[in-house]
Amino acid sequence: MTDPAPTLAPVRLTSLSHGGGCGCKIAPGVLQQILQSSAAGFIPPELMVGTETSDDAAVYRLNDAQALVATTDFFMPIVDDPYDFGRIAAANALSDVYAMGGRPIMALALLAMPVARLSLETIGEIVRGGEAICREAGIPIAGGHTIDSVEPIYGLVAMGLVHPSRVKRNAGARAGDVLILGKRLGVGVLSAALKKNALDADGYRELVASTTQLNTPGIQLAEMPGVHALTDVTGFGLAGHTLELARAAGLKAVVRYADLPLLPAVAQLATQGYVTGASGRNWAAYGAEVALDAGLPTVARDLVADPQTSGGLLVSCDADSADAVLAIFHAQGFDHACLIGHMQAAEAPALAVV
């Protein structure tokens, strides 16, 4: 007869991790140094997208009609509810496939858990949360890998398909393009407030609703010739990912701060000091390339650098396509998608927040 598993005391998931969600990302400057020191490997001609512009996923051409989109994303808990944690992590990983214009086809689970600290029921709820989001996306979790870990970590290897001519990159923005953002900002602020028990029930519902909404508009956006560049806003914040668009195209991005959609109570919470350490690390890495208008509130810097977990799609498209892009977002339940700025010619890549 086997001994029953020991009963473990309940524990807050966020208390087991030193950071949560995409705020766990290595700071952009440190990551750049790491990648600079790695030698370039073999690059086959079928590899359409690799690491050259820090894009959202790799893309490998299979034939004239299909290209494989492959990516992976995983992180430590951003919330304490295990089921919600699994859902958020899965939606975040699948977002990179949608950001390339791909349609997900399957996923593999990555699970690292402190099995001496968390009950099997809690770990099972994390897995079930991930499975629920994959069912919503219409794909199976076809396998994966597990290890015993000091901190809880969950995520996916996500794979999708896209026509080679419809791959949307973070490169390709053109002068005169307008910028459209699909989701509201402030996930990092809300998660910081949650960790300090300062987030109310309404704020928590908004946090989970935003981070579990699949970025499915990417599939239709890939079919639009007027969409020139596409990415999703995650751990480097709106400023970091907009800068990636600008660098890849050699342009200047101009973002209107007053037009940025924010999750409820985010501005107030940020003013009260509920910001993540990742926000400061982000700004230290790329702040020199960002011009903040002198008339903006002090908190503007924290909000544009705020790390987003499972954030919205950022679209650079010609002005004539803007209404059609917004219609796609709104038809799929992205009620707060809106115009936030434009791209213009410049001597050097940059971002201005006005």
Query: Among 214, 135, 182, which residue's Cα sits nearest to residue 313?
Result: 182
| Distances in whole angstroms, Cα of residue 183 to Cα of each of 61, 243, 340 | 30, 18, 11
CA-wise closest residue to 117 among 4, 17, 2, 20? 17
Pairwise CA distance, residues 334 & 182, whole Å = 6
22, 24, 134, 317: which one is catalytic?
A: 22
Amino acid identity of residue 25, one-letter, is K
- Distance between CA atoms of 14 and 215, rounded to whole angstroms? 25
Q: Name the nearest CA neighbour of 26 among 231, 235, 321, 233.
A: 235
Residues paired with 60 in a beta bridge: 47, 68
Is residue 56 within 8 Å of residue 314, measured between CB atoms? no
Euclidean distance between CA atoms 287 and 70, whole angstroms: 30
Using the Cα atoms of residue 284, residue 288, residue 290 and residue 296 in order, give the sign of their dihedral: positive
Question: SS3 for 14?
Answer: helix
**Which neighbouring-strand residues pair with 241?**
none
DSSP string, 219-265: HHHTT-TTEEEEEE--TTHHHHHHHHHHHHHTEEEEE-GGG--B-TT
Buried residues in 42-78 as b, exposed as e (16+ CB within 10 A) = eeeeeebbeeebbbbbbbbbeeeeebbbbbbbbbbbb
22 labelled catalytic? yes
Q: Residues with catalytic annotation? A: 22
